[in-house]
Amino acid sequence: MKVLAIGDLVGNIGIKELKKHLIHIKQVEGIDFTIVNGENVAEGMGITQQNFKDILALNIDVITMGNHTWGKKDIFTFIDHPQLIRPANYPKGVAGKGYSIYSCHNQKIAVINLIGRVDINVLSENPFIIVKEIVEEIANQVDMIFVDFHAEATAEKIAMGYFLDGKVTAVFGTHTHVQTADEKILPKGTAYITDIGMTGPKYSVIGMDLGASLKRFETTLPERYKIATGEGIVNGVIFDVDEVNHKVKEIKRLYL
């Protein structure tokens, strides 16, 4: 089985690029299941109901979120949709769910969403403790477990990979919008990559307009960010999973 994880969609250009390439990717790579991070799709912050519908129309299996989960308040009208998950380590009682279990080709696939705590301005619970509890709870109910760790710090992501090595199928990072070249199979069999990158404007500062971004850094004055325009890219990773032992045979980065 092949599972595709697509990096943070940035703005409508992210949806446009995904729509342009996804069918071809699925056909060429033989993709069975697709995960997309959508927390930046609403012009860089959050997701609207229309964004959500547009993504689902592309036959995406699950949409994960991150630090901008609540960026657009209409998310509360669809937060309980079975194909949407938000970080599991938000405080108890917060709307939505942090993981869900899906069926694909007679396989049970769990997808868990987490958010980091290092250099992210979100008052979240400890992701290591929370994910341990979830994995222990669902391990006997599923065949595969994929973890989207939406975090800033490379060290925190790497630590999570080793923490979950042998306990989950794969750990992939999102949030920094820069695809890393450290994809690997860890010693106990879990596939890992620090960040799968972004799907959005190519010539940009992590998706944002160059002029506004450079002005902020040059002058230190506040400047409203806006999504860059022009040519787009698609970033992600493909996990080729053995359906018998449920281990990843190959992990391959995708950059279009």
Structural domains in the chain plus CATH codes:
2-255 (3.60.21.10)
Instruction: Name the average pLDDT for the chain.
Output: 95
Active site residues: 68
Assign 43 a pLDDT band (cuts: 50, 70, 90). Answer: confident
Assign 225 a pLDDT band (cuts: 50, 70, 90). Answer: confident
Give the full edge-to-edge strand order of the sheet including 33-37.
62-64, 33-37, 2-6, 235-241, 248-255
Give 204 or 250, the one with higher predicted confidence. 250
Give 21 or 208, the one with higher predicted confidence. 21
User: Which of these ranges, 28-42, 133-147, 180-194, 208-222, has the smallest mean pLDDT?
Assistant: 208-222
Could you tell me if 252 and 238 are in contact, meaning their C-beta atoms sit under 8 angstroms apart? yes
pLDDT at residue 52 in the model: 96
Assign 37 a pLDDT band (cuts: 50, 70, 90). Answer: very high
**pLDDT at 47 exceeding the cut of 90:** yes
pLDDT at residue 75 in the model: 96
**pLDDT at 44 exceeding the cut of 90:** no
Task: Dump pLDDT digits (tens) for 74-93.
Answer: 999 999 999 999 999 999 99
Give 100 or 222, the one with higher predicted confidence. 100
Distance CA 62, CA 97 (A): 12
Assign 56 a pLDDT band (cuts: 50, 70, 90). Answer: very high
Cα 128 from chain centre: 17
Distance CA 112, CA 37 (A): 12
pLDDT at residue 159 in the model: 98
